[in-house]
Amino acid sequence: MLRSLDDLIGFNVSTADGALGILEDVYYDDRHWTVRYLVVGAIEGLETARLISPYAVERVSDEARQIHLSVSLARVKEATDVAEKMPASLAAETEYHDYFGWPYYWQGPYVWGMLAVPAVTGPAPVAGPLLVPDPEEETAGLEDAQVSHHLHSAADTIGYHIQALDGEIGHVEDFLLDDGSWSLTRVLIDTRNWWVGKKVALPSGEFSRIDWTERLIFVGETREQVKSKREFDVATLPREN
C-alpha cells in the first residue's frame, strides 16, 4: 500500500513482546530509492536510536499508529549500535544483518538482493546470513566506508530543492512509500516557489542524480512538464486498520 512517509514518522514501534519506541526517521538507498532501515528512538534503557530493517516488519496499523515487528525487545537492545556509526561500513552492516539473520540487500539483482520485497521465508535463524555475500558484486573497487554513503536520512532530504531541465521548480516535502517493497516510489514536491500552491508527486525513477553538497535533486523533465502533472493530495491515500 502506498503511504506518506511524513505521516508514518511518529508511529509507535512494537516488538514481538513489547513496545520498542517511536519511528524517528528512515535511511534510504539513493541507488534504488528504497528504505533500508527504520530509525527507532526513545527506547527505554538505551541512549541512542536503533536501526531496524524492513525485514523485521510484520505489519503497519494506521488506526493504532503502530508498526509491528517480528523481533524481540531483548534482541534489539542487545544488537550492535549501528545507528551511532552512520554512515556505517559495509562490514558493520554485514555484522548487523548476520546478528538478526537478515539477507543482504546489496547482494543480488533485485531491490532486496535476491528478492523483490523484504520477506524472510521460513523461520528466521537466530544468527548468521541467509545469503553468502559476493564481495565483487556491486562493490568492486569501493571501500566499505564508501559503499555505505549510498544510505541517507529521509528527514535530512526534506527541503532539498528540485532542479528541472530548465530551472528550479520547488522542494521536497514528502516521500510516498510502498510498504510492501519499502521503496520510495514517488517524491512529493511543493512547487509554491514557482506557481501558487500546487503539489505534485513525481516517480523517483525520473530523478537523475542528487547533489548532496548543494542540496539539489535533478529531474529529467522541464518545468512545463512538471506543471502539467495533476495535483496530489496525501489525504486521498488509503489507510489500513
Global confidence as pTM: 0.85
Q: Identify the pLDDT of residue 20.
A: 92
Phi, psi of 193 (to 5 degrees): -85, 5
For 15-67, write each residue's pLDDT tens digit.
989 899 999 999 999 989 999 999 998 888 887 888 999 999 999 999 999 99
For 190-220, write each residue's pLDDT tens digit.
987 766 668 999 999 999 999 999 999 999 9
Beta strands at 199-203 and 34-41: parallel, antiparallel or unpaired: unpaired
Q: Identify the pLDDT of residue 160.
A: 96
In order, the DSSP letters of 133-182 are --TTTTTTT--HHHHGGGEEEHHHHTTPEEEETTEEEEEEEEEEEETTTT
Helix intervals (H) in the chain:
5-8, 73-77, 90-100, 144-147, 154-157, 223-227
Q: Looking at residue 83, what DSSP letter applies?
A: G
Residue 145 in grid coordinates? 566506508
Integer CA distances (angstroms), 67 to 54, 61, 195, 241, in order? 10, 6, 37, 12
Give the chain's length: 241
Q: Identify the pLDDT of residue 143.
A: 46
Tell me the chain's radius of gyration from C-alpha atoms: 18
Question: Quick check: 87 pLDDT over 80?
Answer: no
Residue with the bigger pLDDT between 83 and 8: it is 8
Q: Identify the pLDDT of residue 172.
A: 96
Number of Cα atoms under 13 Å in the Cβ half of residue 170: 25
Q: Identify the pLDDT of residue 135.
A: 38
- H-helix or E-strand spanning residue 69: strand 66-69
For 139-189, write each residue's pLDDT tens digit.
433 344 444 568 999 999 999 999 999 999 999 999 999 999 999 999 999
Phi, psi of 174 (to 5 degrees): -165, 170
Integer Cα distance of 51 and 39 in angstroms:
5
Integer CA distances (angstroms), 6 to 24, 54, 96, 151, 239, in order? 10, 17, 27, 18, 14
Beta bridge partners of 68: 14, 59
Q: Identify the pLDDT of residue 159.
A: 95
